[in-house]
Structure 1
């Protein structure tokens, strides 16, 4: 295959991933709008976020795209024929399923105590609802492993559309459940008598979505002859042993990030509505971040896995720089706009039904903090993928252990002066330190990285992002000063205008830096149609 054909193939993959992920994220955003309109930041929504901590922990950790199971399966199957893949996938599935089934049962039996652990300051009503929701969602632990294996298997078969599109099912089931509940009880859904019922609908809808997501993957996997539900106990085969060796530290390393979420919610349990507010703000951020993350990381990880040989490290370093600069080019302006335009964005997206102005203020304050940390969040992920590509899962694990203690310290320090946004700022601090540590370790591991050369364009893009954010904020302030801010249409137009000004300023400043990654990004956007042929 020529370089031009490879480029077109990668562009085609990126186009498929972008479209499918965009649809997935938009449906997820609509789901969150439905939850916000029904419950606001009230008891049912807040309890659901505490109950969902553990299922989401496993779903992200084990079942997520770019998660440790996904990346491990890709690394192993890329080096094997299709005939070897099916029995290997079945053996790994049998092993993972047996372990996670036991964990699911343990979670069901210990739901009440676990809610006390993660939310010690929840009200009695919120605690009871959260414990019931957690029992309902406990089978998701088993499903998360199966979904992760399916993602990795289908990734090697170039089924990128399904990787990005299947999460839509989880959102659809929740939306349908809330719709049925609303048709049954109408506006009474937020009354105390129906809060518990609403909480159950959220939990059952979430479980049904995960189940359907796995079934869809399994059907495609069967058709491609990449493994069935057959129980296979060939745990001593070289492929399974390699998977365990790579997967175990990777699971623990990625789990460190999710353990930090437990810490965050523990400290925030005394702030009414904080958990729901984190989720609302995070969904706004994850909509563009998830799209860009998949577009950058999915094709990039496959490439990095092929450059793990020391003879290819020159190309590996080049791809690493490309990943970091592309991350800065996309995340810094978006983060600046989220920070500068947080309040109008939240009002436009959520402020209706049970979601009122006080809810908007809380969510907007958290969104500002999320915006500040978007670059280091994705940049850290890019660096972690390099370690996985090199077959090194221990280094991310060690850094992850350090991050747990650092996160506890920063949460404790920042929650008092900043409240709920302080929890998010603590996460930003942890991600920043992690990114610097990973760069330093890779500098030694790869026999030198041109860090000074890389830092100059990144610093230039940071300054450009800050300038863009100030420009957006100034434009919004001016428009609201002269025209006011009442009315959804007016607020939407003002936000769009302010965002365009900010993006224009960033584009003007960034293009003057003459980075090759800018040309690459522009070419991908303008020639995506040709590249997907």
Structure 2
């Protein structure tokens, strides 16, 4: 009888649409991440902790920053307001056209800005290096900067696919870049030479956009008509964008700050920090992609059609996610050294590199449960257009990261930079949680008053 009850509960769990979507997205992300890890293994084998890797990571830092801050922010505010448009005014063709025009304009604007200010950016943040260092960055940057446009277009099409519950296709598009880099490194490194990583990144971004565009057109998800920049939900989207962008901007500063501090240390510190985050980012990436992509449309639809269930559902997601991800983090900390040794240690990546990277990796593993529940809370607040508070928490995060980086680097060196990231993740998750509990109390009070 008890076993039958357990089977029924498990069957009900698996058949839940959101759980199924999360499993699908997580599984596809896992497969894509495996390609990404294989790519990292090949890159580590060929380049170790080298000048080429340091310069590539710096070259791609600004385009990635722009994409993560501005284009991802725009996609986040697009989804809940697009759902509201579908549920209320139903002028989705007009809304899509408006969003697409803004996406292209933003992408081209930031592409121009990135080219104009790269020299000043390098001179200010990474001064004191040999001319070869800057030449390699500039050469690679010329190829990775155009990715901004393709990443922007891909993000808006992925938003449409996610709203339509086509999560598998939007998730698959993320695998194109590591696959293309891998192919270029294995087969075309002699031809592209020091530009191989940058060119592979550009090819991957173009193919990723083409893939989701073809899928969206075939499924007739894209419906364009005359844009209306003054519709109710368009105006709400534009109103939320500054706060969301500012929050993402402040969050996006943290990797740049980490790179800045690591650049003050010995050569190879930037690459060591990037290798150290790879495995934790693997776990975080799967969880964040699966939870974030599925739960933003889920909470957004609930905010329009089932608002009374919002906070109850959120608490369940937070509880289960925290305990499962805590287990992952503990296992990662305990197995950090053998993981790095198995995955990276070969040829140019020597035993001494393994020791350094495994310790950095342990510091990063600490953040996993706090980061993932924060992702859920951020998606929840975005779904109800509460982006102003995220701007405040992001400012706290940036200041904390700056202060802790300075203090902990003095004590622990490069390891302190990784530990700082995890401490900030813990503090910010607590701030979000107590704010949401306050919103819940106010919502209950308002409901009781209306009754």
Residue pairs, 1:180-199, within 5 angstroms? 180-182=187-189, 184=190, 198-199=193-194
Matched, 1:23 2:31: yes
Q: 1:298 to 1:138 in 2, by over 3 A?
A: closer
Residue pairs, 1:385-396, within 5 angstroms? 385-396=379-390
Q: Which residue of 2 aligns with 1:242?
A: 236
- Per-residue displacement from partner, 1:467-508 (whole Å, max 9, x unpaired)? xxxxxxxxxxxxxxxxxxxxxxxxxxxxxxxxxxxxxxxxxx
Higher mean alpha-carbon deviation, 42-51 vs 426-435, is at 426-435
Q: Aligned partners of 1:136, 1:231: CA distance in 2, in Å?
A: 33
Q: Aligned partners of 2:102, 2:407: CA distance in 1, in Å?
A: 42
Q: Which runs of 5+ in 2 are unaligned?
A: 1-10, 445-451
Q: Which residue of 1 aligns with 2:406?
A: 412
Q: Which residue of 2 aligns with 1:127?
A: 134
Q: Which residue of 2 aligns with 1:140?
A: 147
Residue pairs, 1:171-182, within 5 angstroms? 171-182=178-189
Q: Output the aligned Cα RMSD.
A: 2.6
Aligned residue pairs total 431
Deviation at 1:239, TM superposition (A): 3.2
Q: Aligned partners of 1:266, 1:178: CA distance in 2, in Å?
A: 27
Q: Which residue of 1 aligns with 2:219?
A: 224
Matched, 1:58 2:75: no
- Asked if structure 1 preserves the Cα contact closer than 8 Å seen for 2:39 and 2:181, the reply is yes
Q: Which residue of 2 aligns with 1:68?
A: 73
Residue pairs, 1:38-187, within 5 angstroms? 38-62=46-70, 67-81=72-86, 84-182=91-189, 184=190
Q: Which residue of 2 aligns with 1:207?
A: 202
Residue pairs, 1:297-316, within 5 angstroms? 297-308=292-303, 312-313=307-308, 315-316=309-310
Residue pairs, 1:511-530, within 5 angstroms? none
* TM-score under structure 2 length normalisation: 0.88
- Per-residue displacement from partner, 1:44-84 (whole Å, max 9, x unpaired)? 01111111111111333355xxx433332221222344973
Q: Which residue of 1 aligns with 2:363?
A: 369
Q: 1:31 to 1:118 in 2, by over 3 A?
A: farther
Q: 1:321 to 1:199 in 2, by over 3 A?
A: farther
* TM-score under structure 1 length normalisation: 0.75
Deviation at 1:411, TM superposition (A): 0.8
Give the secondary-structure state (helix, strand or coil) at the position aligned to 2:34: helix
Q: 1:263 to 1:396 in 2, by over 3 A?
A: same
- Asked if structure 1 preserves the Cα contact closer than 8 Å seen for 2:85 and 2:233, the reply is no
Q: Which residue of 2 aligns with 1:510?
A: none
Give the secondary-structure state (helix, strand or coil) at the position aligned to 2:221: coil
- Asked if structure 1 preserves the Cα contact closer than 8 Å seen for 2:147 and 2:205, the reply is yes
Give the secondary-structure state (helix, strand or coil) at the position aligned to 1:354: coil
Q: Aligned partners of 2:306, 2:155: CA distance in 1, in Å?
A: 31
Q: Which runs of 5+ in 1 are unaligned?
A: 186-196, 451-533
Deviation at 1:410, TM superposition (A): 0.8
Deviation at 1:6, TM superposition (A): 10
Q: Which residue of 2 aligns with 1:333?
A: 327
Alignment equivalent of 1:259, drawn from 235, 250, 253: 253
Deviation at 1:208, TM superposition (A): 1.3
- Asked if structure 2 preserves the Cα contact closer than 8 Å seen for 1:121 and 1:270, the reply is no
Higher mean alpha-carbon deviation, 247-256 vs 389-398, is at 247-256
Q: Aligned partners of 1:281, 1:356: CA distance in 2, in Å?
A: 15
Q: Which residue of 1 aligns with 2:449?
A: none
